Amino acid sequence: MPIDLTEALTQLREGRCDARTLLSHSLERARSPACERVFIRTFFDEATAAAAQADACRASGQPLPALGGLAVSVKDLFDVAGHPTTAASATLADAPAALADAPAVARLRRAGAALIGHTQLSEFAFSGVGMNPHWGTPLNPVTRVIDGRDRIPGGSTSGGAVSVATGAAWAALGTDTGGSLRIPAALQGLVGFKSTARCVPLDGCVPLSPSLDTAGAISRSVRDAALLHGLLAAQALALTPRGLAQRRLLIVTELMQDELEPAVAQAFDRALHTLSAAGARIEERSVPAMQRISELQAGGGLPAYESWQWHQQRLATRGDDYDPRVALRIRRGQTISSDQHQALLDARRRWIHDMTLALNGFDAVISPTVPMQAPEIAPLQHSDETFFATNARLLRNPSVVNLLDGCALSLPCHRPNELPIGLMLWRTGGHDAELLSTAAEVEAALTSITEAH
């Protein structure tokens, strides 16, 4: 198993390696065929300077920066000073260089991150599939090693996830509006954490749906996710282990286990059995409020209306330059009035209230992150019907948490040499530290499944 960010930082602090050497390994992988179409633009010289600065700190006896001069990638939605932000769209190809870092980027930079480049995404982050017709789609590097087929990376943080899976980056800054961190993490065997939306500022980030957008990271472990969340949220965060026997986990009977691929159903059942054997108290019950989700998503819901407000003028002048599938989804918002938008916001608030009551007392809800493994790219390229059906299936489970304004984490639950499958833990908003603590214990229990012996 490759080491995670936390272990790499330990090795740096103990003097067993240096940041420049680790960065050179990352940049070698970033330049490799496995990272083809992953980076829209690179910041390799700046990253090298950051690594050198971290080494200089350690050499002079100063404390090592929190991220130690290690490689971190940035989704091409966030402003990075001196570089354009183009949201992987041809319509922003002539965007000027940003004058300042977005706050989320600035926090990582101050923590000593070696920012290595802007990564690929679904245009304007508007898809859970991760395909981009303008700059090309990065291939899923994990599944390719297993079966040699060209499969989707998951989206919208497609390039960010691939940068972590290939070792080009130790972590990837991304966004999550309906699952855009958790979907690619699930399909590539990584950890994706969606925090409560208000935790991390989104200034300097191209919006999709401001009511649902969240900034966060993809990483290799839960402890990495906790470290990165603490830095991005600018708050001290410590995991508080209680033991799985003290955890109450809930399985909701509605929606989340519907129409699972057989491999996903088997992996989910295996994970539940493993967690039960480790002492977790798992209950299954109906949550009637879940049946109202379709009302909140009718007509494209909040993303359609809110993205239309941002894009309508650009669509009028540059519509032919959009990915047609993205433009189609955005244009659904022109049929939603401001009164209907307000009604959606009001209905969402009532739904969050009812869901909060129903989930009270549980440490987490547990479900498959997505109901499928990564499909092959070719059928999705050639059929709009297949593409939109797949996109809807990928978004179905994780988008529940965005509507809830909750926090959620996807972690691997598949066996070695199987196509990756994600297990999602989620709960209502404001309980990020508690969810990460639960997830760390779940991750430890699942090592009997996920690690080769």
Q: Give DSSP secondary structure letters for 117-144.
A: EEEP-SGGG--SS---TTT-----HHHH
**Residue 318 domain-assigned (yes or no):** no
Cβ neighbours around 339 below 10 Å, total: 8
Q: How many CA atoms lie within 13 A of 437 on its CB side?
A: 16
pLDDT, the chain, mean: 97
Cβ neighbours around 425 below 10 Å, total: 26
Kindly state the average pLDDT of the residues 50-78: 96
| Same domain assignment for residues 118 and 252 | no
Q: What is the pLDDT of residue 215?
A: 98
Q: What is the pLDDT of residue 238?
A: 86
pLDDT above 70 (res 393): yes
Kindly state the average pLDDT of the residues 72-77: 98
**Residue 361 domain-assigned (yes or no):** yes
DSSP string for residues in 343-405: HHHHHHHHHHHHHHHHHTT-SEEEEESSSSPPPBHHHHHH-HHHHHHHHHHHHHHHHHHHHHT
| Same domain assignment for residues 143 and 10 | yes
Cβ–Cβ under 8 Å, residues 421 and 264 = yes
| Same domain assignment for residues 351 and 226 | no
The percent of residues in the chain predicted with pLDDT above 70, rounded, is 99
**Residue 400 domain-assigned (yes or no):** yes
| Same domain assignment for residues 444 and 347 | yes
**Residue 25 domain-assigned (yes or no):** yes
Q: What is the pLDDT of residue 453?
A: 43
Kindly state the average pLDDT of the residues 185-210: 98
| Same domain assignment for residues 363 and 286 | yes
pLDDT in tens, 262-312: 999 999 999 999 999 999 999 999 999 999 999 999 999 999 999 999 999
Instruction: Please identify, among 200, 232, 264, the residue that sits at the C-terminal boundary of a domain.
Output: 232
Kindly state the average pLDDT of the residues 42-47: 98
CA 403 – CA 419 distance, rounded (Å): 29
| Same domain assignment for residues 193 and 87 | yes
Q: What is the pLDDT of residue 452?
A: 59
**Residue 302 domain-assigned (yes or no):** no
pLDDT in tens, 218-256: 999 999 999 999 999 999 888 898 999 999 999 999 999
The percent of residues in the chain predicted with pLDDT above 90, rounded, is 96
Specify the number of domains making up the chain: 2
| Same domain assignment for residues 193 and 255 | no
Q: What is the pLDDT of residue 375?
A: 98
**Residue 237 domain-assigned (yes or no):** no
Phi, psi of 216 (to 5 degrees): -170, -165
Cβ–Cβ under 8 Å, residues 407 and 381 = no
Per-residue confidence at 451, pLDDT binned at 50, 70, 90?
confident
Cβ–Cβ under 8 Å, residues 213 and 429 = no
Cβ–Cβ under 8 Å, residues 296 and 406 = no
| Same domain assignment for residues 274 and 147 | no
Residue carrying the six token digits 């499958």: 421
Range of the domain at 10: 5-232
Kindly state the average pLDDT of the residues 388-393: 98
Residues taking part in catalysis: 75, 156, 180
Write out the H or E segment, with its range, that includes residue 24: helix 19-30
| Same domain assignment for residues 417 and 270 | yes
Per-residue confidence at 1, pLDDT binned at 50, 70, 90?
low
**Residue 133 domain-assigned (yes or no):** yes
Kindly state the average pLDDT of the residues 17-26: 98
Q: What is the pLDDT of residue 330?
A: 97
Residue 205 sits in a domain of what CATH number?
3.90.1300.10
For the chain, what's the residue count? 453
Counting beta carbons within 10 angstroms of the beta carbon of residue 292, is it exposed (0 to 12), middle (13 to 18) or buried (19 or more)? middle
| Same domain assignment for residues 348 and 207 | no
**Residue 342 domain-assigned (yes or no):** yes
Helices (H) then strands (E): counts for the chain: 16, 11
**Nearest C-alpha neighbor of 407 from the set 205, 245, 243, 192:** 192
| Same domain assignment for residues 260 and 221 | no
DSSP string for residues in 46-90: HHHHHHHHHHHHHHTTPPPPTTTT-EEEEETTB--BTSB--TT-G
pLDDT in tens, 100-142: 999 999 999 999 999 999 999 999 999 999 999 998 999 999 9
pLDDT in tens, 144-164: 999 999 999 999 999 999 999
| Same domain assignment for residues 221 and 287 | no
